[in-house]
Structure 1
Amino acid sequence: MVSEIPPPDGTESEWTIVGERIRVARESSGISVRELARRIGVSPSHVSNVERGLASFSVRALYSVVSHLDISMDSLFEDAKWGASHENSPQLEVVPDAPQPQRTRLDESGIVLRKGDRPTIHLGSRRWERLTSSSPLRE
């Protein structure tokens, strides 16, 4: 289940950014590598490799990580610059679709993301779409 993902062209790997965010959240929660590994059902070395950007978690393990660290999935991937140069990296894209329905105030406020406007992440054979805006609601 370990995916080796080398950084492209000597640049920092996107998974390194995600791994660093997991490490910071884990440390701020006071959870050891061994304890997080036990909670999510993987080896401590796998957690360490993910935190260093040398491996990635499965979708199931990612959901377990964010649940145990009490963080959002968006916080891991937000602003990470996924490049098309690596086949193993999730590809962020806006998927074009059929004509959009009439826009409403909720669309304009950013509360609703219509299908054609949603950022997507491709992980393996699955596609995950963000359904809501990542920005907090403001009055």
Structure 2
Amino acid sequence: MATDLKSVLGAKVRAGRESAGLSQEQLAERINRTPETISNIERGKTMPAIETLQALCSALGLRLAELFADEDLGRDVGRVAREHRVVLTLRTLSESDLEVAQKTIEALANRQ
């Protein structure tokens, strides 16, 4: 399924929330919004205000710019979310584990 900006942003917020181990209710509480607001953002139903985006990024350790990556528009939302989860996971690794992950990913990408 091709995606628009709201869907891509929502998929990335959901991936960030899940990577952080938070429920929608917990995230909503952290940023002083309702769980319904979080749900609507994650499902691509609404475009959050900049203040909400900043609060989400702060709560989830995301960068505002990565929520708006042009290359993700029109791509499958599931793939965008999985790639984003990988990036978030990589950020948590030690340098030595990151090197192992890099080599593993490169080996997977190069297999024919």
Task: Tell me the TM-score normalised to structure 1 length.
Answer: 0.49
Distance 2:73 2:7 in 1: 11
**Secondary structure at 1:57's aligned position in 2?**
coil
Larger radius of gyration: 1
Distance 1:81 1:12 in 2: 6
Equivalent pairs, count: 73
Task: Tell me the TM-score normalised to structure 2 length.
Answer: 0.60
Deviations 1:8-31 (A, max 9, x none): xx9532100100000001001101
**Secondary structure at 1:56's aligned position in 2?**
coil
Residue identity (%):
30
Q: Which residue of 1 aligns with 2:47?
A: 56
Q: Which residue of 1 aligns with 2:73?
A: 81
**Secondary structure at 1:17's aligned position in 2?**
helix
**Secondary structure at 1:34's aligned position in 2?**
helix
- Code of the residue aligned with 1:17 in structure 2: it is V
Distance 2:26 2:38 in 1: 10
- Code of the residue aligned with 2:45 in structure 1: it is L
Segments of 5+ residues of structure 1 without an aligned counterpart are: 1-9, 83-139
Distance 1:53 1:24 in 2: 13
1:20 counterpart = 2:6: no
Shift of residue 81, structure 1, vs aligned partner: 3.4
Which structure carries more helix by proportion?
Answer: 2
Query: Residues 1-139 of structure 1: matches in 2 within 5 Å?
Result: 12-78=3-69, 79-81=71-73
